[in-house]
Structure 1
């Protein structure tokens, strides 16, 4: 105990005897010119891009930052990230990131709808009420849109919201890939 107190006292004395090593950190938003005059940062004068201004994929390239400045997320983002940021600025959730409803059990007559713009979608079921079992990942596709959780029995259905004139040939040997067989392939059609 005595050794600890002596070490702590020595540290206090050492740091107090060297005041030149102390440094206060301060930040400021005003920049000083070479003449010593204060410069107020200029706000951008050009019109900000809005979600309605996006017509083609070329509109999803940011302008970049002015030389000597740090770019914002909006200035440096491109592609899907830029589309998402523009949507969030206008209050539109582009990718519909809301969680699936977990206040009810999905049934065959009233399944929990999972929207997808792609050919397949994965959904994680945590049971009803939420977090009543570990996450079970369920894979749904356009070919087989309904899936049931093996633990709680909740039914999920994929609703395709992508383009209607899809150029992929579904179910016709696309890239030579065939879905692996599951027990659902052997269920009699009348039980579906």
Structure 2
């Protein structure tokens, strides 16, 4: 307590010039450096103009200001923001169509609910039919196991892989050493399989 009071008392007695002395030449050098950095940083482009990853580097905020999301977001987040500014939902975040019409019922083995995914694995949340009839059950579909059924309501989802066809890790997708553990479903007669 005593130390804190002493520090405040000394700070009040110290003239402002003594705290913030720096030569004018140093201020000019800092100003020139800021101008150089502003010209080398990225620029704001529209969604249609994005061609390379360098187009997704923002210019940043001006010195002394708080950056906006558009000024600081990079990569996929920046691409999503640029798309939203033009009314494009690049990740297609709408709820999946799980309607069950008489002519074309979705959510069955014959007509599953399609889940688009660019990765090896995709999660889909099922709330039942009609909507919100049970708590969310998260289903996992993958490239190895593209069809999954909800244990609560019986809805069936299927992965539609939309990612790249080649593997960028230097090996093929089917040549990995991981094997999925066996479950009770692996011992069901083949005629009852839905794979």
Distance 1:146 1:48 in 2: 41
Distance 1:114 1:49 in 2: 31
Q: Normalising by structure 2, what TM-score?
A: 0.68
Distance 1:166 1:90 in 2: 32
Could you say which structure has the higher helix fraction?
Answer: 2
Distance 2:189 2:161 in 1: 25
Match of 2:116 in 1: 115
Q: Normalising by structure 1, what TM-score?
A: 0.69
Q: How many residues align?
A: 144
Match of 1:169 in 2: 172
Matched ranges for 1:1-192 at <5 A: 48-104=44-100, 105-167=106-168, 168-172=171-175, 174=176, 176-191=177-192, 192=194
Between 1:64-73 and 1:130-139, the stretch displaced more is 64-73
Distance 1:179 1:69 in 2: 51
Show structure 2 runs of 5+ residues with no match. 1-42, 101-105
Distance 2:185 2:83 in 1: 39
SS in 2 for 1:185: helix
Show structure 1 runs of 5+ residues with no match. 1-46
What CA deviation, in whole Å up to 9, does each residue of 1:114-160 have, x standing for no partner? 00000111111111011111221111111110111111111110100
Distance 2:89 2:61 in 1: 26
What CA deviation, in whole Å up to 9, does each residue of 1:159-187 have, x standing for no partner? 00001223452232x2x422222233233
* C-alpha RMSD of the superposition: 1.8
The answer (yes or no) to whether the contact 2:166–2:172 under 8 Å persists in 1 is: no
Distance 2:142 2:126 in 1: 16
What CA deviation, in whole Å up to 9, does each residue of 1:45-65 have, x standing for no partner? xx8411122111121110001
SS in 2 for 1:178: coil
Distance 2:163 2:188 in 1: 29
SS in 2 for 1:171: helix
